Amino acid sequence: MLFGKHSGIKNKDRQRYDRVRRLMWIKCESCGKLVYYKDYKDNHYICPRCGRAFIMNPKQRFDLLFDDKTWEKIPLPTMPDDPLNFVDRAPYTERLAEARSDTGFNDAVTTADGHIAGIPTTICILNGEFMMGSMGRVAGECIVASAQHAIEKHHPFIMVACSGGARMQENILSLMQMARTTVAVNKLHAAKIPYIVLLTDPTYGGVTASFAMLGDINIAEAGARIGFAGRRVIEQNIREKLPANFQTADYLYEHGMVDMVVPRAELKARLGKILAVLTKQPHAPHEINVATPKNPDAGKRSRGMGENAAYDKVLLARNENRPHFLDYISGIVDDWTYLAGDRLFGEDAAMCGGLGFWNGFPAVIIGQEKGRTIETRQLHRFGMPNPEGYRKAVRLMRLAERFDLPVISLFDTAGAFAGGAAEERGQSQAVASSIQAGLSIKTPYIAVNVGEGGSGGAIAIGTGDRVLMLENAIYSVIAPESCASILWKDNKFKATAAAALKLTAYDMMEMGVIDKIIPEPDGGAHTDWQTTMQNLATAVSEQIKLLQKTDPNKLPELRAEKFLKMTRETDKANKK
């Protein structure tokens, strides 16, 4: 028995005992249970009973993220206290003195240099233990100075945010830090310094409405609460109860605001993978070694094949066992990091994208995923993106451009999703913006049709410097079945429509729509994933090598000329 009448501790020793007990045990503010402090510390300051992740002080956070717990603090500017001579229940100067005494820090920001996965990195921490991490003019000045330090050192810059918002005791001077810290972020972007934001519990107010939501990549720590106005304020304002998961990390992920939600113990490894790609660390290509899933019908003639050669290609392109986007990622790409959300409305699983090493090349890779099981097909919407998917694609294209990474798109879709909600949220504008971004980015862009190239949904991520096509893929403004129903007034003419549309890879090559056909194994990609992936990986890598020899600033103009020329040459080709 640890405590109580039989503990053997006399009254005169009670004060000393209570002090020792506080060092050994803590009470979890979330579940109310007593937790042995060593267990709490060994679990990265997460309650082992309920999983609540508590605030870490700067030293604890630096030790968690830097290699070998080795780091060096950088000096930060100081400024005179209490510019407004503010007094509430206590003078502001007293509150500052108390916070400094309790934490040992001058203000809410602490910055250090170290290495993550061997990469020199600067981490800036907004300390939630110092006046709830509120942002006053000293904190703002320190963030600006830390960003400038990262630019001068050419270090990736990681911002760890934990804050209740702007510091009320400094009023307008605090508010101005939202603009000043955003200037610092703009300078990081202009210098092409990777800027990664780690949102921890809690992060609110003027911090989220400025630098904390402007990362090249936004990571939410699992269990974090993140928002602008607090839950209680919103409920009082709208007079209704909010969902239980409102403003949680998972809620923000679902609504497209963060790229990922990562448990605290996995943060360092995840950051290491991201930084390796963004800083273009040397990476040897791995040997592709994939097995073709067993399918009893893989070697049989697909149902309906034999109507004509064009419609045979349609069926091969749609074969259920054909590799999809995430299959190619698993087989070809190393250190893959999935990036989510359009930062506006939601995450669309139909359009996948992220960072990784494609056959040794650091790249941004995007594409539609169709899914394979009933559950995954519903999740990915059979590869038909909503507007959020195309806006995410644009965001990732711009990310690639900022860090001079090639864009690789693997498109495979029947088309953009046709639905009322998609129209309400601007499907046409989203597709148009994706086409526009693809034509304008100043970085190599290789687009590959790996299956169905359906209408605007496909060309939205198909305007590359080089457009490749797997041998049995198809490319068309409309599905042959729909074409037959509209023009022939009968779906049974689908094969006739397929031939008339000239939708095969060889048709595309003859009309100058694509630059190269990637061969598939006999019987189609679905019969031999290994060969298909090797052919695809090699073909894309060859194009990256060639395009990297061209000045990136010239690529948009060359890309524009390519597409302007495209249909002008069709009549000449048909006359030959």
Between CA 400 and CA 444 the distance in angstroms is 9
Return the percentage of the chain with pLDDT > 90, whole number: 83
Shared fold status for 55-278 and 309-575: yes
Contact indicator for 171, 165 with CB cutoff of 8 Å: no
Phi, psi of 198 (to 5 degrees): -110, 110
DSSP notation for 92-161: HHHHHHHHHHHHS-SSSEEEEEEEETTEEEEEEEE-TTTGGG-B-HHHHHHHHHHHHHHHHHT--EEEEE
Q: What is the dihedral of CA 108, 114, 115, 116, to 10 degrees?
A: -10
Between CA 287 and CA 290 the distance in angstroms is 10
> By C-alpha distance, which of 142, 122, 149 is closest to 271?
122
Between CA 271 and CA 574 the distance in angstroms is 53
Phi, psi of 202 (to 5 degrees): -100, 155
Q: Is the dihedral of CA 513, 517, 518, 519 positive or negative?
A: positive
Estimate to the nearest angstrom the gap between the alpha carbon of 282 and the chain centroid: 22
Phi, psi of 84 (to 5 degrees): -105, 0
- Which 8-state DSSP code applies to residue 552? G
Between CA 130 and CA 357 the distance in angstroms is 40
> By C-alpha distance, which of 340, 322, 335 is closest to 451?
322
Going from N- to C-terminal start, the domains of the chain cover 1-54, 55-278, 309-575
Q: What was the pLDDT predicted at 572?
A: 56
Q: State the CB neighbour count (10 A cutoff) for residue 57.
A: 17
Q: Residue 336: is it exposed, middle or buried by C-beta count within 10 angstroms (0-12/13-18/19+)?
A: middle
Beta bridge partners of 504: 474
The yes or no reply on domain 55-278 and CATH 3.30.720.210 is: no
Q: What was the pLDDT predicted at 526?
A: 95
Q: What was the pLDDT predicted at 5?
A: 37
Beta bridge partners of 72: 113
What is this structure's pTM?
0.91
CA Rg value for the chain:
28
Residue 52 is encoded by which pair of tokens? 């609540």
Q: Which CATH class is domain 309-575?
A: alpha beta
Residues with Cβ < 8 Å from 298, sequence gap 6 or more? 292, 321, 523, 526, 527
Per-residue pLDDT of the chain (576 residues; tens, 9 = 90+): 233 333 333 444 555 555 555 567 777 878 888 888 888 888 888 888 888 888 999 999 999 999 999 999 999 999 999 999 999 999 999 999 999 999 999 999 999 999 999 999 999 999 999 999 999 999 999 999 999 999 999 999 999 999 999 999 999 999 999 999 999 999 999 999 999 999 999 999 999 999 999 999 999 999 999 999 988 889 888 888 999 999 999 999 999 999 999 999 999 999 999 999 999 999 999 899 999 987 655 445 555 566 899 999 999 999 999 999 999 999 999 999 999 999 999 999 999 999 999 999 999 999 999 999 999 999 999 999 999 999 999 999 999 999 999 999 999 999 999 999 999 999 999 999 999 999 999 999 999 999 999 999 999 999 999 999 999 999 999 999 999 999 999 989 999 999 999 999 999 999 999 999 999 999 999 999 999 999 999 999 999 999 999 999 999 999 999 999 988 766 655 555
> By C-alpha distance, which of 180, 88, 187, 97 is closest to 140?
180
Between CA 405 and CA 192 the distance in angstroms is 11
Q: What is the dihedral of CA 206, 207, 211, 212, to 10 degrees?
A: -140
